[in-house]
Amino acid sequence: MQCKVYIVREPTEAAYITMEFLKTLMLIILISVTRKTIKAQRCGISSLSIPAVEGEDAAVGNWPWQVNLQYFGYHICGGSLISQEWVLTAAHCFYYISSASYWTVYLGRQSQNMSVSNPQKVIRGIRSIIIHPDYNHSQLINDIALLRLSKPVNFTNYISPICLAGNDSAFHNGTTCWSTGWGEPGFLEQSD
Ligand SMILES: *[C@@H]1O[C@H](CO)[C@@H](O)[C@H](O)[C@H]1NC(C)=O
Ligand SMILES: *[C@@H]1O[C@H](CO)[C@@H](O)[C@H](O)[C@H]1NC(C)=O
Ligand SMILES: *[C@@H]1O[C@H](CO)[C@@H](O)[C@H](O)[C@H]1NC(C)=O
Ligand SMILES: *[C@@H]1O[C@H](CO)[C@@H](O)[C@H](O)[C@H]1NC(C)=O
Ligand SMILES: *[C@@H]1O[C@H](CO)[C@@H](O)[C@H](O)[C@H]1NC(C)=O
């Protein structure tokens, strides 16, 4: 799918409402397109999974959907790969750095330590950033964004997509979850 972004200066109210409507429509279309792509592929499979220990450094390949978003070499945010060319992340990451060209996406990466060799890593730019049209920065409501990679990635044991929750998914109290991300001193960490 091709999307064009037009920059409208000082839009009239009618133009603004149309823009908001088109943005919402685009987001809905994109989500349904990505969902269709995802149905046709395996997701949420960590092929190199080894038993994990809470709070410990993650083993290479344990979280193959975890991506690392960097701005001029600085780690700013994490994200989750949901298809060969889409990443799901938080909208607040782009509040101050909204231009796609400033960002670099690292996939298949475990350590942020530049001295540690990382033969599985793949680097991509960002082609477009789609922020939830009702994102509210002060309240952090609808804090969600989609990133389209500059080029699709091939899935490997170290790079593969996470599953999205279904429309009818229920998350009951007591369900165990994992949260992953990069913590000090720059290693991918996991916790309950
Ligand atoms: C980075 O890796 C090198 C080589 O393994 C190690 O000597 C150094 O302490 C690491 N740095 C950090 C911040 O972990
Ligand atoms: C964000 O939400 C707050 C509280 O609901 C509201 O007062 C504010 O106007 C909202 N901001 C935007 C930009 O929508
Ligand atoms: C992905 O795999 C296909 C088929 O093996 C190959 O032609 C293509 O070059 C690969 N792309 C990347 C970015 O590695
Ligand atoms: C989601 O589920 C509700 C109720 O089960 C249903 O009415 C609705 O059509 C579903 N939406 C989608 C997009 O599947
Ligand atoms: C889940 O647990 C919280 C805190 O104990 C409680 O307030 C909430 O009502 C529970 N929700 C459900 C659906 O049981």
Ligand 1 pocket by Cβ (under 6 Å) = 113, 115-116, 185-186
Residue 119's domain comprises: 66-149
- Ligand closest in space to the Cα of 112: 1
Lowest-pLDDT range, 67-71, 89-93, 111-115?
Answer: 111-115
Domain-embedded: residue 2: no
Cβ(167) to ligand 4 under 6 A? yes
Domain-embedded: residue 174: no
User: What is the reported pTM?
Assistant: 0.70
Domain-embedded: residue 144: yes
Domain count, the chain: 1
48-63: pLDDT as tens digits: 655 555 555 555 557 8
Query: H-helix or E-strand containing 29?
Result: helix 13-39
pLDDT grade, residue 109 (50/70/90)? confident
Cβ(175) to ligand 2 under 6 A? no
Percent of the chain with pLDDT over 90: 41
Domain-embedded: residue 72: yes
14-38: pLDDT as tens digits: 444 444 444 554 444 445 444 544 4
Is the per-residue pLDDT at 157 higher than 90? Answer: no
Distance (angstroms) between ligand 2 centre and the Cα of 28 equals: 22
Cβ(142) to ligand 2 under 6 A? no
For atom 12 of ligand 2, which residue has the closest CA?
136
Residue 105 region, left (φ>0) first, then alpha (ψ -120 to 50), else beta?
A: beta
**Mean pLDDT computed over every residue of the chain:** 75
Distances (CA, A) of 57 to 5, 187, 189, 191: 40, 6, 5, 9
Map tokens 């909204």 to a residue: 98
Mean pLDDT of the region 103-120: 78
For atom 13 of ligand 4, which residue has the closest CA?
167
Distance (angstroms) between ligand 4 centre and the Cα of 31 equals: 14
Is the per-residue pLDDT at 1 higher than 50? Answer: no
- Ligand closest in space to the Cα of 124: 3
123-156: pLDDT as tens digits: 999 999 999 999 999 999 999 999 999 999 999 9
Q: How far apart are alpha carbons 81 and 87 in whole angstroms?
A: 4
User: How high is the pLDDT of residue 12?
Assistant: 39
CATH number of the domain that residue 80 is part of = 2.40.10.10
Domain-embedded: residue 108: yes
172-186: pLDDT as tens digits: 888 887 777 766 545
Domain-embedded: residue 51: no
